Structure 1
Amino acid sequence: MFEKLLQAPALASWLGLLAGLLAVYLLYSSWTFQDKQKHPPGPRRLPLIGNLHQLDLKRLDKSLFKLSKRYGPVFTVYLGLKKVVVLAGSKTVRQALINHAEEFGEREITPLFHDFNKGHGIGFSNGDSWKEMRRFTLTTLRDFGMGKRLSEEKITEECHYLIEEFEKHGDKAFDNATIITYAASNIISAIIFGQRFDFKDPVLQEMVENDREGSRLSASASLLIYNTFPMLGPWLKNWRDFMKTVQDNNRHMLHLINKLRETFNPDICRCFVDAFCTRKLSLKESDAQRVHYHDDNLVSSVTDLFGAGTDTTSNTLCWSLLLMAKNPQIQDRVQEELSRVVGDRQITMEDRRNLPYIDAVIHEMQRFSNIVPMSIPHSTSRDVTFQGYFIEKGTTVLPLLTSVLYDESEWETPNTFNPSHFLDEEGKFIRRDAFLPFSAGRRACLGEGLARMELFLFFTHLLQRYRFTPAPGMSEDELDLTPVVGFTLSPLPHQLCAVSRH
């Protein structure tokens, strides 16, 4: 075959085809260049690979943040053949997601997201199905006390289980990430399934491990490339491993759902799953919404809630304890305020208004840890002119949260852990517009109220009881704040001592 290709007529044909393709590419590039006054600027791309050669896929958010300093707050990059518009800086991201919520409110369904749930559920869906599932989920979460007294009681109870696990280690150093993850997972599990799991329950352990592994794999360089060239999927080990975690988790979710169905009573609503089944029963065949209440939407919604309620909260809590051990002078002030205001009694959400320094510390640890650095990709629902640039319908948009939480024009010391970012001169807590760890607009985090309550109660209960220090023989300076990059940013595996204060 190759010998035939090298024959003169065949070779001439191939060279002609290549020359034609090159001419088309150069013509397209020339047209794009001439029309740059209408479209967001960006670095020149190469055929097929786009700008991939200019990006660090291990820390894509940092690469894009660096490019924003050259090309401005609205710019274009190509991930292979995929055109992506990046929004950078607090003012730009807020303007897009809040003032142009409709135009920038669609979810970009990448090949990996589609593999994950086939367009069902809450987090990675669009259209009428997404609207109905989001509306139903918000109502149900509120009915189960999200951000209210009922949630506070569940979290406080889980704090006691978590402290029991900490007690088993005495003053010895240990890795607290796993048990913190189990505790955070139990809060969302109580809402979804109406139960908490024992920390030794193999189902809980496997679901949490699958969630962690899926998060890690989803941000790997090979799967970022897969989103550009999806035909590579079956040949990529990371893709095969990712699909296995998805299948395993779906199996667990469906098993738990079916167990609840066995004892389902429409007159007694125990959890999210019951609420979903009751809603389905209440709708007539003629009701337009009924078409959305099927098993795929139920399993995907439960999976979305479990993952979101487990990963982000637990990672933020792990960061918080590491940052306390890294900054003992800040930990001193936290514990001084706790002792002065609360003492040894049980902490409640009512205490937060009287703990301005702790409130500032919690907000700063969310800003500094930057858990979801690129948000989740959006897509434009229609053609839009934004900040003078034309962006076509269906364009992938990345609201770069790294550039918001580390915006040098908004934060006095963006690269330093500094609770003063949220305090005025009198030491009172202040809100900042550039604080967007939960994103904003139509796709803002559904569970923000619950997450804020969890962070406050878990953090204060632990700091009331323990002082966190590096492992013996290690100094504060040796604690590494380099993140592990996955779908979220988590701390490197590490060990801390939880030294009892009593």
Structure 2
Amino acid sequence: MDTFLLIVTFLIGYIIYFLIKSMKRPTDFPPGPQFRPWVGNSFELRKDAIALSGQHMAFENWSKKYNTDILGLKLRDELVVVVLSYTLVHEVHLQEVFEGRPDTFFLRLRTMGTRKGITCTDGKLWYEHRNFAMKQMRHVGYGRTQMEQHIEKECNSLLTYIENTKSEPIWPGTFLAQSVINVLWCLTAGQRIERNDKRLVKLLDLLNRRSKVFDLCGGMLTQFPWLRHIAPDKSGYNLVRQMNEELHHFFMETIEEHKKRLTPENADSDLIFAYIREMNNHLGAENSTFNETQLTMTILDFFIAGSQTTSNTLDLALMMLATRPDIQQTISQEIAANLKFNTDEFPHLSARTFYPYLDAFIMEVQRYFHITPITGPRRALWDTTLGGYNIPKNTTILIGLRSVHMDKTHWGDPDIFRPERFIDSEGKTIKDEYFMPFGQGRRRCLGDALARACIFSFLVKIIQNYKIECAETDKPSLILQPGITLSPKPYKVKFLVRE
């Protein structure tokens, strides 16, 4: 009996010890909600995110509650810090110590059970493959004339699609992503995908569903991976698995086809050819990181970086043009003045200095709607400090871009949609340091060049040819749908041919 009591006492003491330990904050850790036993702040974050329509709103609410612009919390056993001011966001963007990525269940699930690709990796693998991929993408025209030529061709296809709507009400969100993806796919695989390709339609639907099911922290799957066993559908696990399988099959079809056609003459003509050549050059080499899994994950990173955020920004821009005819009229007049003597001249991004109001309008759409309100996640590579607080090694850092883009002290009237805030007294656009939709530093968004070029050129050509009006039903809403990225609620507009 004494032995039994001793064992029970030991177990109770053991449980109490770990219970107290799970609630203890690290020394000089940023302020925030009290850690709950075992689960940290996981459940209260989820509860507040649902109530306030987004994780970013929960963080901002906590920031006010604890009177701090740097929050410290715990999601199960993961320490998390959220930065919510320009100074701190700028520091996290540029400091090497914050260039790491967390190694969580959800991030590994995103990359098909691996920790590969570019977006979700760090260290040597990240340096090597980011540099290789960006070098090869530039070689095939990323951010240069060749990309502009792809954009021009895809823009013509987009205008044809709009023409075929015959001014019937339609939601732009149903067709914009295909146009953006095709520009990227031409650079990646050297070919475009037909708009009615069932595989592409299915993949874009999966990406769209994924963005709404998860938040930046991967939903509850990251903190409680065992949920996949008891609630595979509700937790989103089956959705990601399905998307992984579809993407892998889609990418591997193209990779296998490239292998058959690889020659010395075309080895640099697109990213996949260049990567296969690099794999062949590393055959037999010890510790080589060039393999098919890494290639598929690299393609996936560009696929995600170049699709949803860009098409959602275009979607929101068209929505605002429909709801603000005054702004649309000003942009239309600016475009007409620039194309007065040559209506066939294609408006590439390099010409944006001649379109200061349109340029300012695009920036205001990105600032006002902040479709990626929380970015990251980053990982502290070693013990460090931030904002006067201690940040232990491996702490996850989340970056509050919305708080910077809606900083009332800096912007004055951030809740007002006003493109003029980006125009100076001479009528030229202003580069504001608080405006950072693509991030900063070496972790800057992979798809920024594609996004900026597509958004600008597509909008010029659409506004040049069509007047956008709200439909009588399905009116636009300024309240966006939460998720990994924010997206507009379905609405409909009419594209009316300009006289």
> Normalising by structure 2, what TM-score?
0.91
Q: How far apart, CA to CA, are the structure 2 residues paired with 1:473 and 1:81?
A: 48
Which of 9, 12, 22 matches 2:16?
22
Q: How far apart, CA to CA, are the structure 2 residues paired with 1:409 and 1:114?
A: 39
Q: How far apart, CA to CA, are the structure 2 residues paired with 1:204 and 1:23?
A: 53
How big is the shift at 1:413? 1.9
**Structure 2 residue 54 is the aligned partner of structure 1 residue 64:** no
**Which amino acid letter does the alignment assign opposite residue 115 of structure 1?**
L
Q: How far apart, CA to CA, are the structure 2 residues paired with 1:386 and 1:149?
A: 41
Q: How far apart, CA to CA, are the structure 1 residues paired with 2:8 and 2:497?
A: 75
Q: How far apart, CA to CA, are the structure 1 residues paired with 2:357 and 2:279?
A: 46
Give ranges in structure 1 of 5+ residues lacking alignment. 1-6
* C-alpha contact 2:282 2:290 (8 A) present in aligned 1: no
Q: Match of 1:358?
A: 358
How big is the shift at 1:216? 2.5
Q: How far apart, CA to CA, are the structure 2 residues paired with 1:432 and 1:240?
A: 42
Comparing 382-391 with 291-300, greater Cα deviation is found at 382-391
Which of 81, 93, 104 matches 1:110?
104
Q: How far apart, CA to CA, are the structure 1 residues paired with 2:13 and 2:312?
A: 52
**Which amino acid letter does the alignment assign opposite residue 347 of structure 1?**
F
**Structure 2 residue 247 is the aligned partner of structure 1 residue 253:** no
Give ranges in structure 2 of 5+ residues lacking alignment. none
* C-alpha contact 1:469 1:496 (8 A) present in aligned 2: yes
Q: How far apart, CA to CA, are the structure 2 residues paired with 1:373 and 1:134?
A: 24
Match of 2:374, SS state, is coil
**Which amino acid letter does the alignment assign opposite residue 460 of structure 2?**
T
**Which amino acid letter does the alignment assign opposite residue 107 of structure 2?**
F
How big is the shift at 1:307? 1.7
Q: How far apart, CA to CA, are the structure 1 residues paired with 2:43 and 2:202?
A: 37
Q: How far apart, CA to CA, are the structure 2 residues paired with 1:278 and 1:23?
A: 56
Kindly tell me: are residues 255 and 329 of structure 1, through their superposed partners in 2, closer, same or farther at Cα, counting changes over 3 Å?
same
Q: Match of 2:122?
A: 126
Comparing 103-112 with 61-70, greater Cα deviation is found at 61-70
**Which amino acid letter does the alignment assign opposite residue 34 of structure 2?**
R
| Deviation sequence 1:404-448 (CA, Å, 0-9, x none) | 222222222222222122112333200011111111222111221
**Structure 2 residue 193 is the aligned partner of structure 1 residue 197:** yes
How big is the shift at 1:10? 8.0
How big is the shift at 1:18? 4.6
Kindly tell me: are residues 382 and 473 of structure 1, through their superposed partners in 2, closer, same or farther at Cα, counting changes over 3 Å?
closer
Q: How far apart, CA to CA, are the structure 2 residues paired with 1:173 and 1:14?
A: 70
**Which amino acid letter does the alignment assign opposite residue 360 of structure 2?**
A
Q: Match of 1:3?
A: none
Q: Match of 1:225?
A: 220
Q: How far apart, CA to CA, are the structure 2 residues paired with 1:348 and 1:24?
A: 63
Kindly tell me: are residues 181 and 253 of structure 1, through their superposed partners in 2, closer, same or farther at Cα, counting changes over 3 Å?
same
* C-alpha contact 1:119 1:126 (8 A) present in aligned 2: no
**Which amino acid letter does the alignment assign opposite residue 225 of structure 1?**
M
Q: Match of 1:155?
A: 151
Q: How far apart, CA to CA, are the structure 1 residues paired with 2:453 and 2:148?
A: 7
Q: Match of 2:316?
A: 319
Kindly tell me: are residues 331 and 15 of structure 1, through their superposed partners in 2, closer, same or farther at Cα, counting changes over 3 Å?
farther
Match of 1:483, SS state, is coil
Q: How far apart, CA to CA, are the structure 2 residues paired with 1:11 and 1:51?
A: 34
Kindly tell me: are residues 8 and 206 of structure 1, through their superposed partners in 2, closer, same or farther at Cα, counting changes over 3 Å?
farther
Report the count of equivalent residues.
484
* C-alpha contact 1:62 1:402 (8 A) present in aligned 2: no
How big is the shift at 1:20? 5.2
Match of 2:496, SS state, is strand
Q: Match of 1:4?
A: none
Q: Match of 1:187?
A: 183
Q: How far apart, CA to CA, are the structure 2 residues paired with 1:278 and 1:28?
A: 50
Q: How far apart, CA to CA, are the structure 2 residues paired with 1:375 and 1:266?
A: 40
Kindly tell me: are residues 283 and 267 of structure 1, through their superposed partners in 2, closer, same or farther at Cα, counting changes over 3 Å?
farther
Q: Match of 1:434?
A: 434
Match of 1:147, SS state, is coil
Misfit runs of 4+, over 4 Å? 7-20, 283-286
Q: Match of 1:376?
A: 376
* C-alpha contact 1:40 1:75 (8 A) present in aligned 2: yes
**Structure 2 residue 25 is the aligned partner of structure 1 residue 32:** yes
Q: How far apart, CA to CA, are the structure 1 residues paired with 2:221 and 2:280?
A: 40
Kindly tell me: are residues 378 and 422 of structure 1, through their superposed partners in 2, closer, same or farther at Cα, counting changes over 3 Å?
same
How big is the shift at 1:19? 6.1
How big is the shift at 1:32? 3.3
Q: How far apart, CA to CA, are the structure 2 residues paired with 1:346 and 1:11?
A: 87
Match of 1:75, SS state, is strand
Q: Match of 1:240?
A: 238
Q: How far apart, CA to CA, are the structure 2 residues paired with 1:300 and 1:82?
A: 25
How big is the shift at 1:252? 1.0
Q: Match of 1:489?
A: 486
Q: Match of 2:462?
A: 462
* C-alpha contact 2:140 2:269 (8 A) present in aligned 1: no
Q: Match of 2:36?
A: 46
How big is the shift at 1:365? 0.9
Which of 56, 66, 73 matches 2:69?
73
Q: How far apart, CA to CA, are the structure 2 residues paired with 1:9 and 1:427?
A: 85
Q: Match of 2:280?
A: 281
Which of 216, 222, 238 matches 2:212?
216
Q: Match of 1:420?
A: 420
Kindly tell me: are residues 39 and 177 of structure 1, through their superposed partners in 2, closer, same or farther at Cα, counting changes over 3 Å?
same
Which of 289, 304, 309 matches 2:306?
309
Among all aligned residue pairs of Structure 1 and Structure 2, give the percentage whose two residues are the same amino acid. Answer: 27
